[in-house]
Structure 1
């Protein structure tokens, strides 16, 4: 369901440098992976999420 708007924006979008993709899915996967290891209210959770963002 989220792929059609990506194709439409890739054709009619205004910026060639803008990266479009299902990034919300990646965020959900990171959250799911980290919540099995660390409590989401812990400071380490945030640090690990930032570390994964830069990998």
Structure 2
């Protein structure tokens, strides 16, 4: 298994960052690795939208 550090940060004044070491199979493709990262990224976000009047 290969280890990758997944990171995401915000540019807000607080400078919040999320980091996690993720183990993925050695034979994972670049596309599969990108998909894993994107899934991890979306799990870190607490975002929503709402209609305003």
Settle same-fold status: TM greater than 0.5: no
Larger strand share, 1 or 2? 2
TM band (smaller chain): 0.3 to 0.5
Higher-helix-fraction structure: 1
